[in-house]
Amino acid sequence: MAHIYLAFAIFFEVLGTISLKWSATTGENIYGALTAAAYAASFYLLWLSLKHLPLGLAYATWSGVGIAMTSLIGVLFFYEKIDLTGIIGLTFILIGIILINIFSTMANH
């Protein structure tokens, strides 16, 4: 169940970040409210996941997947540029998350 909480925490963190971008670009208050609600949900779900997962594993996964997803959404939907260095950096982040979750003893709880 902890991994499900973590997955939803990531979803809401990404939604909050996207809403923050919408709020900044449109100036509409509804996106600011959505940002606050999504981040609150994300932190609550992260807190629930931390009851059963190690801090390093949960936080690395939450932040790393969130970074990769928001970067991809930025490129696809906000037409932001990404270069080879950015792709390589994001790939290293994802490789690190995979290593921690599959091979690290920190995943053994």
Q: What percent of the chain has pLDDT over 90?
A: 91
Specify the pLDDT at position 105: 80
Rounded-to-integer distance, Cα 58 and Cα 66, Å: 12
The structural domain count of the chain equals: 1
Specify the pLDDT at position 108: 63
Residue whose entry in the numeric block shows the structure tokens 């909480």: 5
41-73: b (≥16 Cβ within 10 Å) or e = bbeebbebbbeebbeebbebbbebbbbbbbbeb
Predicted confidence band of residue 103 (pLDDT cuts 50, 70, 90): confident
pTM over 0.75? The answer is: yes
Instruction: Kindly give the residue spans of alpha helices, DSSP state H, lying in 78-109.
Output: 84-102
Range of the domain at 89: 2-107
Given its phi and psi angles, is residue 66 left (phi above 0), alpha (psi -120 to 50 degrees) or beta? alpha
